């Protein structure tokens, strides 16, 4: 009888075990989609990777701070404008760390986001990008992000 409970307990723990490699891949995919959605202007993809409530925060190099999902959506017409064209993006040196609970992750990377506005370059090259994600309903969403340029 004791052996049964030990096996059952191990079985339940094994099912709930955090698989860091799988979760790192999911987080990396979420981070990539936060920029990559612009290639096809897939708003559903963009909205699926950011938290859709008032706790969302995004800090930009220009000192602009976006508070909440509703304010975030106010910038969408810029990206959807035909004058804005995605060229490519690249994420380098992505470092992801998980909380002990496995429900929160934070990251750091270098982002090159290449675009045009009215045919002219509108790039963020070698931008430092940090952020925090939370796992909600088995999906990772960005809750906070910060972009900055290194000073010369």
Q: Domains plus CATH for the chain?
A: 39-148 (3.10.450.50)
Query: ∠55-57-58 over CA atoms, to 5°?
Result: 160
- The model's pTM is 0.87
pLDDT at position 1 is 53
Pairwise CA distance, residues 94 & 48, whole Å? 21
pLDDT at position 151 is 75
Going by the DSSP 8-state scheme, the letter that residue 80 receives in this structure is H
pLDDT at position 63 is 86
pLDDT more than 90, % of the chain: 85
pLDDT at position 8 is 47
Low-confidence ranges of the chain (pLDDT < 70): 1-16, 152
Burial of 13 (C-beta count, 10 Å sphere; 0-12/13-18/19+): exposed
pLDDT at position 29 is 98
pLDDT at position 3 is 45
């Amino acid at each position: 009888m004791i052996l049964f409970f030990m096996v059952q307990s191990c079985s339940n723990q094994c099912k709930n075990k955090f698989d860091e490699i799988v979760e790192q891949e999911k987080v990396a995919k979420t981070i990539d989609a936060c920029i990559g959605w612009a290639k096809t202007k897939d708003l559903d993809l963009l909205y699926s990777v950011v938290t859709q409530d008032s706790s969302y925060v995004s800090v930009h190099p220009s000192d602009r701070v976006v508070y909440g999902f509703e304010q975030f959506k106010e910038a969408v017409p810029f990206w959807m404008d035909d004058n804005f064209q995605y060229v490519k993006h690249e994420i380098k040196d992505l470092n992801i760390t998980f909380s002990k609970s496995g429900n929160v992750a934070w990251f750091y990377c270098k982002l090159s986001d290449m675009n045009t506005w009215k045919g002219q370059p509108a790039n963020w090259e070698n931008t430092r990008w940090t952020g925090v994600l939370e796992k909600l309903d088995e999906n990772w969403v960005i809750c906070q992000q910060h972009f900055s340029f290194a000073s010369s």
